[in-house]
Copies of this chain bind each other. A is one copy, B any other.
Amino acid sequence: MKIELINTGSELLLGRVLNTHQQWICRQLADRGYQVTRQCCISDDGKAIETAMQEALTRSDLIITTGGLGPTSDDITRELVAKLLGKKLTLDEAVLANMQKYFRDRKRLMPASSKVQAMVPEGAVVLPNNHGTAPGLAIPAKANTWVVMLPGPPRELRPMFLESVVPLLEKQFPLAHPFVCRTLKTTGLGESFVEEKIAVPLQALVGQGLEIGYCARIGEVDVRLVGHGSDGGKIVAAAEDIVRGLIGPLIFGLNDDSLEVALVRLLTEKKKTLALAESCTGGFIAHRITNVPGASEVLMSGMVTYSNHAKMDLLGVRESSLKEHGAVSEVVAKEMAEGARRRAKTDYAIAVTGIAGPGGGSEAKPVGTAYVGLSGSEGTQAQRLFNPFDRETFKFVTSQQALDWLRRTILTGQIE
């Protein structure tokens, strides 16, 4: 089965907006055993939409479009697709009534321009929008071929996809042998070295239908195991066993796990609490941890201490340490971690102090230098890192190394 995703929106090709639909829709489908074979982005331009749609109709069984269903003049997908498929558009009174209710519930006027969103092509299935005004539309284009049109805003598209598109898909395109995909998330070794360790031992399973993929990101390498056919699940499970035997300690999670999810899970299991003292990461570690539901059970407090005053006042860092060693130093990182742990009465505390840049570097401590302090009942240690990247990457990599240090500490019971 071939699935094609067409994201419309000039803002995507002008680079004004990040295309998050692609990842989200592809992942939802993959998790259910369906695979997108092609994705493209085109601008809000009639000719471009027509061409892309015509190409897709010749080669795909399911075509999903996103965007272009809004009320403004550059929203033209509904009309164009209807025309291309030879379907007449008519005003759907039920859809209109729903839209009117949507505005009434929010005590807002319905703009006159919104009415166009209630136009529905003949034969289309209306996909209700419980989080906005434009409904989605599913149109049978020809035998065993469907076009599904979804609105652009993620908080409308996502529930609509789960509530309406998934059931339609499972009914219209049932799978005999869904493929099985499992991603092992690792940190601590580069892509080539990970492959060097696992590729040869996995060779026999590749012969039986295993597909291996590697994806390197900063501070992480994903190992993706895909199994096709009726034995797909067994093959992937066997492969996972082999990989865990070889690089187990590097694996922090599975599939969509992030390091923060793995860490909150671990802290929760071990009934441990955490405090944070962040200078250069500026609240990003707290943000990562508090993205995880249930974080409030393990994270007691976080302090973003940019100024020296805040480091002394909130964390009890000594003025003499700041003067003698500087705010970016091993001594201060340790005092920050100890101060945060003492103040918040937690099992562990992580502290980070460094130079995110672009300004503030020196020869001895160039931009990218950071110290991470880790304090627990096992003692207090600090380590020097060097992450000479742009500001956001610096924050990410530094937080990654700090979080993984805590993860390994909890697992081994030793700060190393």
Q: Which of B17, B48, B214, B217 contacts A72 (CB 8 A)?
A: B214
Q: Which residues of chain B come closer than 8 Å to A313, judged between CB atoms?
A: 343
Q: Smallest distance from the beta carbon of A198 to chain B beta carbons, Å?
A: 11
Interface residues on A, range: 35 or more
Q: Does A174 lie at the interface of the complex (its beta carbon under 8 Å from any beta carbon of B)?
A: no
Given contacts A153-B216, A155-B389, contact A191 B72 (CB under 8 A): yes
Instruction: Quickly give the copy total for this chain.
Output: 2
Contact at B10–A26, with CB atoms within 8 Å?
no
Q: Is the CB of B39 within 8 A of A43?
A: no
SS class, residues of chain A in contact with chain B: mixed
Stretch at the interface among A79-87, A292-300, A374-382, A400-408: A292-300
Q: Chain B residues near A207 (CB, 8 Å)?
A: none
- Compute how far the CA of A391 lies from the CA of B357 in the bound complex, rounded to whole angstroms: 30
Neighbouring B residues of A216 by C-beta, 8 Å = 70, 152-153
Contact B11 A39 (CB under 8 A): no
Q: Is A111 located at the chain interface by the 8 A CB criterion?
A: yes
B residues in contact with A44, CB < 8 Å: 213
* Chain A residues close to B by CB (< 8 Å): 9-20, 22-30, 35-44, 48, 52, 70-74, 111, 113-114, 152-153, 155, 181, 183, 191-193, 195-196, 199, 212-218, 222, 224, 276, 278, 281-287, 289-291, 293-296, 299-307, 309-310, 313-314, 343-345, 356-360, 389-393, 395
